[in-house]
Amino acid sequence: MRKIPRSRIFLAMAGVLLLVLGAFSGNAAAASDKTVLPVPERHVLVIHLNAADHPYQDLFNSGLRKALEQDDRYHYDFSYEYLEINKIPHDAVFLQKTVDLFAYKLQHANWTPDIIVASDGVSDLLLRYKKELFGNLPIVACAPAKAGKSSVPIDQFTKNYLLPGNDSFAANYQLILDLLPQTKNIYVVLGNSYEEQILLRLAQEDAVNFEDKVTFVYTNRRSNADMLSTLRNAPPDSAVLYSRWTTDIEGESFVSASSLPFLTSSIRLPVFGTQQQYIGNGIVGGYLHDISLLGEDAGNMVIDLLDGVAPTIYTDIERYHRYVFDQKVLDEWKISASRLPAGSIILYGEKSFLQEHWQLVLIVAAIITLQSGLIFNLVRNIRRRTKAETEIRLLNESLEGTVAERTLELSDANAKLAELNQVLDHTSRIDALTGLYNRRHMDERLREELEVFKRLQEEFSVMIADIDDFKVVNDTHGHEVGDQVLKILAEALCSSVREYDIVSRWGGEEFLLLLPGLGEADAYDRAEKLRSKVQEITCSQADPFLCVTITIGVATIRENESVSQLINRADVALYQGKYSGKNKSVLAR
């Protein structure tokens, strides 16, 4: 074998070392070049015509945010301005005051918008104030009036606009007759405002092609009470198409999405709708105008404008309509999903018990399995003990070694049995869903604390915290979301109290807290901090459905007072908080 000179080995090793060092230094330099740059911000001012209690504006906002959140090049900040023109429509003085207030806000705001987004109706009212309010800021706007009608063309306000479209009456008339062919009368619910009068003309024009099949009744010339009475007394072969109900013949104003649930629950007729925000309020569904899709298009137009690209002008108004239905209401009127138009969206479908409560089923199965195992081990240990005792009696003193061995086995079995009993006792004191102490454990702790108070006069306080509008969460989003809310609230409560405070699930969405050593003033201050902290923690979740508030009733122990009397005072204070507005703490009297 040929021997390699040591000098060559040394040179080879040196070359490898230089390559490694070069690669390392190159990677280090590359890593140093990868500096983290801050994400630039873009400020978007969104202007709405009506007050903030109109749900369709929330749909527009959600669609706008959805489109812009997909653009990770910028961090978008939003500011929303609700002009509330609908409260005093067609009033020049009110409009001028509104514009003056709006201009003041823009002048004194701590940030300047990069772009303006205006929903429908805004451009018509603010045209003559455009230069004063917005200068040369780019504006994205929707057509100013239903049916595309306005005192001025939309392109005088901005070249970047969308046509939102109208309620599709003809498609909904046909849908009603397809799904309910026995229908002889269609009641079209429309109020008497200017916008609703425009929609009424559209509804009547679309009804011409159906008048040989069905009789149309329009509600625009009725008061609210008369409209409800008309629908309640309608023949059973009738259906309702709900478009708007904002102003009745007497001039009284309404929010359609708020009055609709009362209407659908007050009459025994199938109610169809024309707007996406109505779904979930008792309507069957319909060919619905979904303004969230309009908001998405507005967001895409914002991105184009910020990029310096000429935006697409969307003129296909049908892109904002889709067939959407409520499964529960379909079942109520015995309408089969197979008869719905192709591509229909069905919401709020009923889940089987197993689908809705699969987690509970798994927990119950696990508990049963655990209990079965514990019982089996208990029986086995008892049998071993009996066998050992029998053998001890039979072997007597002459078998001391065997007795010692069996005694050791018996001691081990007893230790295991005691450990199992401790596990069972702990399990019986814990709420399975939230991991908090349950009512049994809290009852014992309250009695112990009361005895300390009687002997040493060391006062303590209790709080009953109840989730506000928890039934709405369960009814709207299902019990799975409700369970998630309970878990998050339990974690928030535990992280916001002292180590020696006791937090328990008292029942349903109620939580009972025991706070040793706190008097009335300190307990109330602690409750307010706890309430604020819970809202801060729960509302920081990524899912908006999990954002909740709580109302707290606070009570401090008094002389000659029982635990039940103390709890009752806290409970009364809790309900005072509920009835006086919720999301507050109330000290028991």
d(Cα 153, Cα 140) in Å, to the nearest integer? 14
Residue 506: strand, helix, or coil: strand
d(Cα 281, Cα 536) in Å, to the nearest integer? 30
Tokens of 274: 């024309």
Tokens of 399: 């078998």
| Beta strands 41-48; 115-118: pairing state | parallel
Last residue of a domain, one of 372, 398, 427: 427
- Angle subtended at Cα 517 by Cα 512 and Cα 521, rounded to the nearest 5 degrees: 80
Q: List the end-to-end C-alpha distance of the chain, in Å, as a whole number.
A: 103
Amino acid at 391: E
Residue 324: strand, helix, or coil: strand
382 lies in which domain range? Answer: 356-427
Question: Tens of pLDDT along 79-98?
Answer: 999 888 766 766 778 878 88
- Same domain for 231 and 126? no
Tokens of 106: 């823009």
Domain for residue 142, yes or no? yes
Domain for residue 134, yes or no? yes
- Same domain for 181 and 328? yes
Domain for residue 553, yes or no? yes
Domain for residue 404, yes or no? yes
The per-residue b/e assignment along 165-202, b for 16 or more CB within 10 angstroms, e otherwise, is bbbbbbbbbbbbbebbeebebbbbbbbbbebbebbbeb
Last residue of a domain, one of 406, 427, 448: 427
- Same domain for 222 and 345? yes
Who's near 580: CB < 8 A, 6+ residues apart?
Answer: 586
Last residue of a domain, one of 121, 142, 162: 162
Who's near 583: CB < 8 A, 6+ residues apart?
Answer: 468, 531, 535, 549, 550, 551
- Same domain for 399 and 463? no
- Same domain for 483 and 420? no
- How many domains does the chain fold into? 4
Closest CA to 175 of 341, 344, 343: 341
Q: What is the pLDDT of residue 352?
A: 59
- Same domain for 322 and 202? yes
Domain for residue 26, yes or no? no
Domain for residue 529, yes or no? yes
- Same domain for 444 and 558? yes
Amino acid at 101: L
Instruction: Return the residue matching tokens 């709080």.
Output: 463
Tokens of 41: 């911000």
Q: Is the CB of residue 160 less than 8 Å from the CB of residue 138?
A: yes
- Same domain for 127 and 184? no
- Same domain for 269 and 345? yes
Residue 570 belongs to a domain with what CATH number?
Answer: 3.30.70.270
Q: Which of 509, 510, 536, 559 is catalytic?
A: 509
Q: Is the CB of residue 294 less than 8 Å from the CB of residue 60?
A: yes
d(Cα 456, Cα 46) in Å, to the nearest integer? 62
Sequence-ordered strand ranges (E) for 454-539: 460-467, 502-507, 510-516
Domain for residue 281, yes or no? yes
d(Cα 124, Cα 238) in Å, to the nearest integer? 38
d(Cα 504, Cα 499) in Å, to the nearest integer? 14
Residue 99 belongs to a domain with what CATH number?
Answer: 3.40.50.2300
Beta carbons within 10 angstroms of residue 230's beta carbon: 15
The verdict on whether 528 is a catalytic residue reads no
Beta bridge partners of 284: none
- Same domain for 568 and 450? yes
d(Cα 510, Cα 551) in Å, to the nearest integer? 10
Would residue 166 be called left, alpha or beta, if left means φ above 0 and alpha means ψ between -120 and 50 degrees?
A: beta
- Same domain for 412 and 505? no
Domain for residue 419, yes or no? yes
Sequence-ordered strand ranges (E) for 184-316: 185-189, 215-218, 238-242, 271-273, 285-289
Share of the chain above pLDDT 90, in %: 48
Closest CA to 472 of 419, 521, 545: 545
- How confident is the chain (589 residues) per 10-residue block, as mean pLDDT? 51 54 52 65 90 81 92 91 75 81 84 87 78 86 59 74 84 96 96 88 95 95 95 96 93 85 94 93 94 90 88 75 94 94 89 69 86 88 87 77 66 69 75 92 94 94 94 88 90 90 92 95 94 87 79 95 95 95 93
Q: What is the pLDDT of residue 18?
A: 53
- Same domain for 479 and 369? no
Closest CA to 145 of 167, 168, 122: 122
- CA 33 to the chain's CA centroid: 43
